Amino acid sequence: MLERSGYQDRRESVFMVGDRKFDMIGAKECRIGSIGAAYGYGDRDELVHAGADLIFDSVKELKDFLVTL
């Protein structure tokens, strides 16, 4: 997907948003930022232990962050 979208050389601009540790692991493997959604299936502790770069507790918090990019 990074190649198809032209972002393979701009990984610092790409984030994986997910609610489980597997999403954070996948982001790390793809060398992109990881955003944990603590309002999903996983909890904050799972996301912290998985190494999420950022964690948001609501869709509004996530939206507010994304519109600043």
The pLDDT, as a whole number, for residue 1 is 87
Instruction: Find, among 54, 47, 58, 49, the residue nearest to 69 by Cα.
Output: 54
What CATH code is carried by the domain that includes residue 60?
3.40.50.1000
Expressed as residue numbers, the domain containing 46 is: 2-66
d(CA 68, CA 6): 21
The pLDDT, as a whole number, for residue 49 is 98
pLDDT in tens, 17-31: 999 999 999 999 999
The pLDDT, as a whole number, for residue 65 is 95
Number of domains in the chain: 1
pLDDT in tens, 41-63: 999 999 999 999 999 999 999 99
* Residue 49, CA distances (Å) to 23, 59, 64 in order: 12, 21, 24
